[in-house]
Amino acid sequence: MLDSDWRDEPDRPHEACGVFGVYAPTLDVAKLTFFGLYALQHRGQESAGIAVSDGTTVRWHKHVGLVAQVFTEDILAQMPGHIAMGHTRYSTTGSNRVNNAHPVVEMCDLGRFALGHNGNLTNTLSLHDRLRRMGVKTSGSTDTELIALLIAHTPGATFVERLQAVLPLIEGAYSLVMLTPQSV
């Protein structure tokens, strides 16, 4: 590629979601994740969310707004655990409302789990149709919710088995982070 080929690209910031994860059994992972998201704020300024697991329970908080607007010391203090994931959103699909903020949290027979995602799926319509045929309704309008619902409603004895079944169905370019009560 020649240097002149880059001139067609507009000279402006390119937004994308920010995803952050931490495993630290002796530290305050909610606060660490807050600071990680704060550093990634430039990647998405529409909403922010954190999910934390203590090995038994998944707790989460998310809302529309900047990281420092969404989280307070009191909220972070109510999120004990040793593993956490966070997300700051720039929407590529779905509107900017709280039920489209990440992490997307779902409950299934294996327990509650949280999912964060960055990227674009190219087959959201077929995934939505698959869920509809399964009798599953969506509440938001993000491709991340589609992935979470597929995981929740796909047979499998473990989350790993469900991921092995669901991930081949997804087309596009993306990264995915998942937190379960049993996350290492």
Residues labelled catalytic: 17
Residue 19 DSSP SS3: strand
CB-CB contact of 66 with 45 (8 Å): yes
Q: What is the distance between the alpha carbons of residues 85 and 178, in angstroms, rounded to a whole number?
A: 8
Beta partners for 172? Answer: 121
Sole residue written with tokens 């999910």: 51
DSSP H/E element including 181: none
Q: What is the distance between the alpha carbons of residues 46 and 91, in angstroms, rounded to a whole number?
A: 8
